[in-house]
Structure 1
């Protein structure tokens, strides 16, 4: 009688498959069998292989596994491990059936922790919303608008990003309202503003600029990062204007980091000029922003040339951050 595979054996076999460039004859059948396993760890590992290899024939198995782990999720699938892996694999397969994603996007899984419970399903809801945005089923906008008030910050951010990807007038209006209402997490406001710029940079840049010029620095930082993440060359002027208006050191540093994120030649030229500024805090802030480009040898050479007459502290920062 053949020896029965242990839990460790199953995981080791799946890890070995994952390290292959692709399936050999019989491997797809092994993956499908593993997706039917009772262990959420084994199913998650098998789903990872199925997605990596784009095994379309595993889609029905992944759907069944997802439903199986929805029966008693806290007991059978702690941290939504198998369900998240199944949804991610189905996304890699460009699965077109929306049902499993709709279930995942609404799933809440409170698990016991010290002093109460904690929802472990936010990553699952986020992954499902991304897939639904690709499929665009009826009722998607309603689901995403509801998710803008999800208790989990990352889910709210994903909902905003998905609404921006939809790009409809209704989606933009929902984002605009959310921006006005605000959020306890600045990252959410920033993602909402970035999503609006995705819908229409020309139409919504003035709206986002209003937040950039807000006396509330958290709003200004959120808008600056939204502009930087959107990589809009036309955001350079508003960002530099706001920088020169003044503000706290963290705000000014965030603005220059956002300028660096634009990755436009004019933005880099502006930062090089600021790095050579006689006012040491400005020069240091510009150097800090330029660090994201420290692997560009031409830029580093230009920066070194511009700092020949800089203060000792600035030159030491340059040596530490760009020459190490």
Structure 2
């Protein structure tokens, strides 16, 4: 069982919950979770890092769990979320860190590497690659490309319907998304009408996958019981604001040693195939790894392989 301590920080006008494990003098490694996840998705990595002498910091990201979940959509733009972590690093006195993220957390990790080139010494992104700031908002391109199809990100744009669907039965929602086996299509994109509901493509498997045992599943469910999904989904409603607020980062590269890990069965790989191919142009020192027989929840599904890659990367560069 993972031994960790929880800190509730007052940073960036919110309360941020951060779970910490490992020796107090260990080099700090930040672990940023994605959607729909929780800090406990990093339990295997936190234990491995602690055993290797590092000190692991796993926040409950803005909108999740014990952290604050502001109502305003604009409270979830990428620079605001990055600032949560920057101010938390200030709180702990971190001068140099390793930044690791999965899914949305990977996107935050990539941007923190751009924003903090001296403090973020190394960066590891899982499942979501980095292609730099686009020439126009990504959401505009999605609307053009998927105007006649269902895309979950476009479905998320209108406040209300997605929250109502996902919150109707939180354990069912999490079971479905963890298994990630739609009745047709890949679950993220579908030929069904653009105004359809998301989860009607799925059958409830009745129990979480083997990689999420009951005690872990309980932590996931508890994460969403108090504040629901409005905060996490609001991350997806800031593509235009993110683009506007990052103008000064246009053309910048992530120059630190970097790592990218993705499962060979991760549907994000197909959605982001172009970005993965061009990532070395924007992240020239990136080491890319594909884990076989693995879906989207890579650090939970294949913890031993992820831990081996991450620890080797940290030993060589951090």
Bigger relative contact order (CA 8 A; separation at least 6) = 2
Higher share of residues assigned strand: 2
- Mark the structure with the bigger radius of gyration: 1
TM-score (norm 1): 0.24
Higher share of residues assigned helix: 1
TM-score (norm 2): 0.24
